[in-house]
Chain A
């Protein structure tokens, strides 16, 4: 059972109510991003995804899943767990945006300042992260991603098919428009 050259990877973990969603729930195109908050390629894609959602506001929704590559990015796991802690207080996207807008400030001291800026209870949230309250969730996203063919960060799935193109705005617009017209 040798697999032929290049089989396109497909998402195996369907969207659930636990997912973090930005955009209309009935959008015809769903982008799932597997990302690492410390990855500079994810950081480079972040404003493009933002603009994509603005330009295709009725067409596309974005779902974010955690894929920290901790052996390369020492702050990525904690950043992910902190985002999930913020999510439990209804502030996932605020935290997500702060993290990508402050990628050079992800060390614990600056991260706490970010949490505070968002009006979240820093000590309480840090204590939850310290005892690993969100580790399982992050791990679940990671394992689902690796089983779906995530091969680095960022990896996007556009309507369940892995996007192997670029992350510049024109590439993303083309991918979304193609999926919307498929």
Chain B
């Protein structure tokens, strides 16, 4: 089961992990992007049957994520082969991580795993030091969009300005 406390909350250090992101087994995880905000996007499954699905939307928004130097990582329990085909069909260039074996282990550690055996639809924004800055649990059938993510990234940028000042 998932963390009984539910989705990981702001202020907590993000559990470290790496997962396979390509068929050759390359491992990717948030610690590789310290110094930049990281957006972890847990989602139930590749191939959701709509045009404007969440992952396609985030790819379309890549120039905006770039403005914040934010790294987006998608995470589901799908295999790397499914991820690859899905990414090709939707033109997705950011990494899709395969939380496949042991199944859903990373999602569980973030409190984002469902009894149905999929990742929940959850967003977790990590600050430049790897602390959870914002998290959001959506209904599984509702695409949460990106407005909450960008608000969180704005807050991070503001906090850094205050500290520098």
A residues with CB within 8 A of B: 1-3, 5-7, 9, 12, 36, 39-41, 68-73, 139, 142-143, 146-153, 155, 164
Contacts and interface: CB of A to CB of B under 8 A. Distances in A.
Interface stretch (B30-38, B69-77, B146-154): B146-154
Q: Is the interface of A mostly helix, strand, loop or mixed?
A: loop
A7 B64 CA distance: 22
B18 interface: no
B13 interface: no
Contacts of A153: 51-52
A1 B145 contact: no
Interface of B: 7, 9-10, 50-54, 56-57, 59-61, 63-64, 90-92, 134-139, 142-148, 150, 155
Contact of B60 (A7, A69, A155): A69
Given A1-B134, A12-B147, A71-B90, 15 more contacts: A1-B155, A2-B137, A5-B138, A9-B147, A41-B50, A41-B51, A72-B51, A72-B90, A142-B60, A146-B64, A148-B147, A151-B54, A151-B57, A151-B146, A152-B52
Contacts of A72: 51-52, 56, 60, 90-91
Given A147-B147, A152-B57, A71 B91 contact: yes
Contacts of A73: 51
A146 to B, nearest CB: 5
A97 B63 CA distance: 29
Contact of B7 (A2, A71, A147): A2
A150 B145 contact: yes
Contact of A36 (B10, B51, B134, B137): B51
